């Protein structure tokens, strides 16, 4: 298992979508939210994800396809 720390920039249209619920239910990763801020227009979060490399890559692809900007730290 490896750990990746990322900053997620989340568009405002996701404020009613439980994106972290989908992450936990659909991916074999352990998310640890280090810091986060959300408003009506957008949100961002610094998250440490732990899991197998293939599963992390699958997760990051999913997030990018949803329109979430993923910046590796």
Interhelix angle for 53-66 vs 19-26, to 10°? 150
pTM: 0.89
pLDDT for position 33: 96
Could you tell me the CATH superfamily of domain 2-72?
Answer: ACT domain (3.30.70.260)
CA gap 7, 46 in Å, rounded: 4
Domain extents in the chain:
2-72
Specify the pLDDT at position 39. Answer: 84
- At residue 12, the pLDDT reads 85
Query: Which pLDDT score is estimated for 50?
Result: 98
Task: Quote the pLDDT of residue 59.
Answer: 98
Residues of the chain falling short of pLDDT 50: none
CB distance 43 to 10 below 8 Å: yes
């Amino acid at each position: 298992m490896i750990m990746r720390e990322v900053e997620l920039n989340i568009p405002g249209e996701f404020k009613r979508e439980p994106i972290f619920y989908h992450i936990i239910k659909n991916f074999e990763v352990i998310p640890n939210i280090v810091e986060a801020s959300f408003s009506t227009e957008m949100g961002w979060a610094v998250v440490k994800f732990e899991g197998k490399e293939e599963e992390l890559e699958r997760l990051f692809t999913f997030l990018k396809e949803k329109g979430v900007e993923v910046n590796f730290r």
